[in-house]
Structure 1
Amino acid sequence: MPFGEQPAYLRVAGDLRRKIADGTLPPRTRLPSQARIRAEYGVSDTVALEARKVLMAEGLVEGRSGSGTYVRERPVPRRVIRTGYRPAGEVGPFRQEQADERVSGTWESHSDQEEAGPAIAERLRIKEGERVMRTRYLFRIDGEPSMLSTSWEPLAITGRTPVMLPEEGPLGGRGVVERMAAIDIVVDNVVEEVGARPGMAEEMLVLGGVPGHTVLVIERTYRAGGRPVETADVIVPADRHHAVYHLPVR
């Protein structure tokens, strides 16, 4: 195929994508049927099917059982604002994960102990198999699932202390910095790495998306004098969120 020439299914998908973008095919509109695409563009059934698959993979359309394929509502992305500043007396993991003060939300969590696998052991700089406290969070905005987070803390640090369970005890629900300070550990820096990958089926089932659609993964690690005291994965659908960083100049 000559350079710059697109396969037929991509040309069809591109034209349908343009119609979705300019409002010719507005949200909740049924996508033209396979027969209509075949007739309108002069392509085969295979090409029409592949073009539809492209739009579904991009999250522009969704299939409804027994009804057809429809243009999806395009959500207005929320800003996940990341900042090194945390006010004294910060309350709640939602503020820890989502620092936009204009956003209010709720969350549910569950903590249990487990042995650190190779990846988490490396991030926490502990030996594989050492015990950690894993806490899973589901965050909601206006009642709608918005964000998943899983954190791990070495029990060699928090075990048998008042802050062993992040959401229970006298400092339950407080941020990592405040909880660690209560056991005389001074957190002095945090490192975040942002990546993207296809969302796993179980994640998208909870977040209300389509398996395979892109999610942002913010890998965050709190450190005290270079020693990791907590690491977490924050997961948000990429089509619904922008990661915005506010970094102080020293």
Structure 2
Amino acid sequence: MPKQDPPYLRIADHLRRRVLGGEWKLGERLPSRAKMAKSYEVGTNVIQRAQEVLISEGLLEGKTGSGTYLRPPVPRLPMVRSRAVADFPSAPAPGGEWESESSALVPATEEVAQRLRIEPGELVVHTLYEFLLERRIVQLADSWEPMALTDRTSVTLPSYGPFHGRTVVNRMASLGIRVVRAVERPRPARPTAEQAALLGIGPNDLVTVVERTYLDDSGRPVETADLVIPDSRWEIRYELSLEEPE
């Protein structure tokens, strides 16, 4: 006897056909999970799992405290990555902006310590960045800087002081530290629950995590960051200069 798919997958398949058949308009709210559960004669948890399948496919979107909606198509914008180390932090697109919140005296985890070439537990400054476009969060970043470099200076906290809003390159230059190189390692990932909520995407949506580390002219890491970029909204492009150095 052939094995049947779980109920949530069968319902997801049926909902997919209803969505693609035009039963709901773009942006329209679907019936409540309780109402759907009654019509399909299953529990609300089964409906939730079925809807999560379609959310991961980009057909639906969930809005906290509001319900589930037919997802309007979101244009996929180009995000150009270049060799210019002064680009971070920066707006992800023209007309964008960013907000940040910094915490000092944070012990470095083993992973962060390895990336910064310091001992685990050494103190770092941790900054959370939210990049916005049309007042909507479209990209996130976690940044860590060794406190040994900036402690007791006016640039210790990127979110405060006279250099608030300036790039890592500018802030380090004020201390006589010349940032000359960036190393990036992009990898596909799934967002955490908090990241998905902030970005307004589904828990199963793909994101690209760009692990970036800035180095000074001696090769010392001065900052490392994880950029979280929703794959459904951004097409990452790299522009590399081919000019021979003088």
Q: Which deviations, in whole Å up to 9, do the C-alpha atoms of 1:87-127 show, x marking residues without a partner?
A: 7xx8x8334xx3x4x23324242333201000100110111
Q: Could you say if the C-alpha distance between residues 11 and 118 of structure 1 is closer, same or farther in structure 2, counting changes exceeding 3 Å? A: same
Q: In structure 2, what is the Cα distance between the partners aligned to 1:159 and 1:195?
A: 32
The answer (yes or no) to whether the contact 1:219–1:234 under 8 Å persists in 2 is: yes
Q: In structure 2, what is the Cα distance between the partners aligned to 1:86 and 1:201?
A: 30
State the TM-score, normalizing by the size of structure 2: 0.75
Q: In structure 2, what is the Cα distance between the partners aligned to 1:218 and 1:116?
A: 19
1:93 is aligned to 89
Q: Sequence identity, in percent?
A: 38
Q: CA RMSD in A?
A: 3.6
1:41 is aligned to none
State the TM-score, normalizing by the size of structure 1: 0.74
Q: Which deviations, in whole Å up to 9, do the C-alpha atoms of 1:209-241 show, x marking residues without a partner?
A: 222322221111001132110001111222122
1:186 is aligned to 178
Q: Could you say if the C-alpha distance between residues 15 and 242 of structure 1 is closer, same or farther in structure 2, counting changes exceeding 3 Å? A: farther
Q: Please state if 1:237 is matched with 2:230.
A: yes
Q: Could you say if the C-alpha distance between residues 151 and 106 of structure 1 is closer, same or farther in structure 2, counting changes exceeding 3 Å? A: closer
The answer (yes or no) to whether the contact 2:16–2:54 under 8 Å persists in 1 is: yes
Aligned to 1:122, the other structure's residue is in SS state helix
Q: Please state if 1:143 is matched with 2:135.
A: yes
Q: Could you say if the C-alpha distance between residues 133 and 45 of structure 1 is closer, same or farther in structure 2, counting changes exceeding 3 Å? A: closer
1:76 is aligned to 75
The number of aligned residues is 234
Q: In structure 2, what is the Cα distance between the partners aligned to 1:27 and 1:140?
A: 24
Give the gaps of 5 or more residues in structure 1: 2-6, 39-43
Q: Please state if 1:195 is matched with 2:195.
A: no
**Alignment of structure 1 residues 4-19 onto 2, 5 Å:** none
Q: In structure 2, what is the Cα distance between the partners aligned to 1:18 and 1:220?
A: 42
Give the gaps of 5 or more residues in structure 2: none
